[in-house]
Every structure is written in structure tokens, then in C-alpha cells.
């Protein structure tokens, strides 16, 4: 059995409970959930990136609740496809957590997110997903 179906992310569970939707998860449902949680910069590019790497979907769904626990309820997170300037040809999906916090506080919370959850996901994201903060 695919591990990503064993424990649905908290946000997906909330959606099921609120709408009474069946608990059968489909890729389409998951990507629609992503669009409800995240802002897509250059939406077509982000959608294509995710569609070609569906293993990122459950990680992104779970990531949002982990970001909430570090940055507060309903954080604005923008997804963007970025060409890595250090590695030619490497394209990554970045989640930019938008904040009005001071750089010191935002860095502290990002480290808490990384150490508490994201660093454990690195083997699963295959170097194709990262998170950072973006200041208003």
C-alpha cells in the first residue's frame, strides 16, 4: 500500500469532515486542495511541475499544517518553480512563507519548521522542494 494514503494530512482530513466527502483520495482532489492552501506563482508552470512529480502532493499537503504550527493559522505560502543558480539545469519548487515578522523571528520559526519536520522529508522530496520566508 502506498504510504501517502495511510495517514491523510490534517488539512485534507478537515476538508473531508467539513464537506462530508468520501475518504477516497484522488490526485485531482489533492491538487485542488493544494490550490486552496497555496498561491501558485505562474500557475501553469507550478501545476505542470507538480503533475510531473505527484509524490510531492502529499508532502505539500502535510507541509501546510506544519507551517501553520510554526507561523500561525492560515499562513500565505506561495509556490514557485525556481531554477537553482548553483546547479545548472536543476529546477526546484519553492514554498515562500509570506510574513511580516522580523527577519530574526521569521528565521527562528523557519528553523523550527525545518528541524521539527522538513529535514525528515528530504529523502522523499528528492531535492525538488524547499521552503523559505518572504517578507512583505
Question: Does position 95 have pLDDT exceeding 80, yes or no?
Answer: yes
What's residue 16's pLDDT?
A: 47
What's the mean pLDDT when you consider all of the chain? 86
What's residue 87's pLDDT?
A: 84
Question: Does position 115 have pLDDT exceeding 60, yes or no?
Answer: yes
- Name which residue leads in pLDDT, 5 or 77: 77
Architecture of domain 26-135: 2-Layer Sandwich (3.30)
What's residue 25's pLDDT?
A: 55
What's residue 2's pLDDT?
A: 39
Q: What does the alpha-carbon distance between residue 99 and residue 77 come to, in Å, rounded to a whole number?
A: 9
What's residue 73's pLDDT?
A: 95
- For residue 68, the number of C-alpha atoms closer than 13 Å in the C-beta half-sphere is 13
Question: Does position 109 have pLDDT exceeding 90, yes or no?
Answer: yes
Residues contacting 33, CB < 8 A, separation 6+: 11, 12, 15, 61
Domain chopping of the chain, boundaries: 26-135
pLDDT per position as a tens digit, 4-53:
434 444 544 454 445 455 544 566 777 789 999 999 999 999 999 999 99
pTM of the model: 0.79
What's residue 6's pLDDT?
A: 43
Amino acid at each position: 500500500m502506498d504510504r501517502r494514503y495511510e495517514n491523510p494530512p490534517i488539512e485534507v482530513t478537515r476538508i473531508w469532515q467539513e464537506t462530508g466527502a468520501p475518504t477516497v483520495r484522488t490526485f485531482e482532489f489533492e491538487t485542488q486542495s493544494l490550490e486552496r492552501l497555496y498561491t501558485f506563482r505562474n500557475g501553469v508552470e507550478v501545476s505542470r511541475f507538480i503533475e510531473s512529480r505527484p509524490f510531492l502532493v502529499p508532502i505539500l499537503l502535510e507541509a501546510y499544517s506544519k507551517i501553520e504550527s510554526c507561523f500561525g493559522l492560515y499562513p500565505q505560502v506561495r509556490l514557485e518553480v525556481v531554477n537553482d543558480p548553483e546547479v545548472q539545469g536543476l529546477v526546484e519548487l519553492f514554498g515562500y512563507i509570506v510574513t511580516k515578522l522580523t527577519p530574526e523571528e521569521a528565521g527562528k520559526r523557519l528553523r523550527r519548521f525545518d528541524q521539527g519536520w522538513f529535514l525528515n522529508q528530504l529523502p522523499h522530496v528528492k531535492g525538488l522542494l524547499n521552503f523559505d520566508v518572504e517578507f512583505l
